[in-house]
Amino acid sequence: MGSYRVCVCFQRRFKAAEAVPPADTKELFTKYAQGGTHMNAEQLRHFLVEVQGDESVSDAQPIVEQVLQKRHHIAKFTRNTLTLEDFHHYLFNPEFNPPIGSQVHQDMKAPLSHYFIYTGHNSYLTGNQLSSDCSDVPIIKALNRGVRVVELDIWPNSTKDDVLVLHGRTLTTPVELIKCLKSIKEHAFSASPYPVIITLEDHLTPDLQAKVAEMISETFGDMLFYPESENLKEFPSPEKLKYRVLISTKPPKEYLQSKSINENSKKLQKSKDSDEDEWGKEPSSHTKDQDDDKSESDTSEHNLDDESIDDCAPELCPTAAPIYKRLIAINAGKPKGSLKEALKVEPDKARRLSLSEQALEKAAESHGTDIVRFTQRNFLRIYPKGTRFNSSNYKPLIGWMHGAQMVAFNMQGYGKYLWLMHGMFKSNGGCGYVKKPDFLMNVGPENDVFNPKTKLPVKKTLKVKVYVGDGWRMDFKQTHFDLYSPPDFYARVGIAGVPADEIMNKTKIKEDNWIPAWEEEFTFPLTVPELALLRVEVHEYDMSEKDDFAGQTCLPVSELKQGIRAVPLYNRKGEKYNSVRLLMRIEFV
């Protein structure tokens, strides 16, 4: 029994009920148990094949035994059948009946550029972008979550004889590079066997570059992937690169092509912005007077990112260490000229280009197909604009729609967009690599590629029914949501994806109930189901204040299993609750 004090005068008592099977579950049990009170293993198998789409199940007897053992603790071997309550328990248990699979199932033998890759931004920061500590702890957390691209900003220390990791020109406290490298080595493959890419934002002199090359070589040894030639025509596959570490940064030779250090210094003082952001202001041209454009809100030195500036004076550059250059598996570079020229596909050279989120949005207006064509062989990395001082994030779908492999996110933050990133990379067993949809890789007879602006017909329709939720009474205090009564839960269900597919719906509010039974169905016509994510949130209605958050999840539509499924919910940071879950039905029409 739960007690709630009201006006200190009397108490309202609410029975702590158990979740009961919804009507659909009862009907299915009756149908497959052939009207009986118990369901045997063969009957359960028919249900799993016909309703759940689990055609690989040839014998359901082990499942029956596991359910009985879990539900009754001491297995009742005198009974090898399920009651309605056992059947409901099976369906409502995410361990037995998850909404997506947990195994790598996509082709992992295509070139690395054919995959979306789980990518971190400023991976060493513990909090905000301006004053938080730098540490190897967030790097370890990201790797344990399945992140495959780690970014390190490397700078000389005050005596210029060692290398530190920090967010330059800010108040962030540094961490030693060697500490970060050792932690990467230790945790690189704790969540996935597929390659880890370290992107270096390099602000070093050539002698320190040589020192870094030595550190990297000694730390990773045989784990390190050395490219066979200076310019790879095509990247190896994730399968071929299992348990390997790749380095991606700007080759030292790029410094030789830089303008004089004085010109660069003046440019930095004037605009405090990168070439990518100049493209963002004016995607169709790259004019000299753009440095004077003060209308852009993101003109901040903190927006400088990989490939954006040259810290090396030209007279020093010829001594750049060749050993450092040899380490670089994925060449990044600051291209000259217009963005259209930067997006040209070179037949004998695969490379990486970085754009800020704003630059991508601007470029997508007039160069959408150029970006798609570029990303079929080359890497495109998108990074957050510099004014995201609080480590917030941006909408990742724009990058994915254009084939960008590395949509870099501040993993130390949290919020709706980070939930989408978590959702996308639950795909393919959570291995950190998701094969890009065929439409992004196809080339037509006229050398034409997918145009993200094209209006497409509905390709698939997803129907989702939200039956019931449970678990809050186990994971939260009785007074967490309301001091005086049980919570008033409602669910929000919708789609994140291409603009034509995006929508959010809401269930009715179920008042005074820890186990809300909504039994509401929603239909989602999808034009690009390959990039669609099912968004589910639960909130507790509060008449006088902002509604309380009660859990969320984001799931890739392409991975959803049909049938009645138990959907676990997560907190704001993307950590799974112990008990909170929803019972939902998923159908594709």
Catalytic residue list:
121, 167
Give the number of other CB atoms < 10 A from CB of residue 36: 12
Q: 163: part of which helix (H) or strand (E)?
A: strand 163-165
Give the span between the Cα atoms of 429 and 105, in whole angstroms: 7
Give the span between the Cα atoms of 250 and 248, in whole angstroms: 7
Give the number of other CB atoms < 10 A from CB of residue 451: 11
Are 305 and 274 spatial neighbours (Cβ–Cβ below 8 Å)?
yes
DSSP, residue by residue, 354-377: EEEHHHHHHHHHHHHHHHHHHHTT
Identify the residue whose tokens are 């009660």.
550
Radius of gyration of the chain (CA): 27
Taking the chain, what is the end-to-end CA distance rounded to the nearest angstrom?
43
Classify 465 as helix, strand or coil.
strand
Nearby residues of 353 by Cβ (< 8 Å), 6 or more positions away = 307, 332, 333, 335, 342, 343, 374, 378, 379, 380, 381
Give the number of other CB atoms < 10 A from CB of residue 10: 8
The token pair that represents 419 in the structure block: 């939930």
Nearby residues of 315 by Cβ (< 8 Å), 6 or more positions away = none
- 215 by Cβ neighbours in 10 Å (0-12 / 13-18 / 19+) ranks as middle
| Residue 228 φ/ψ, nearest 5 degrees | -70, -30
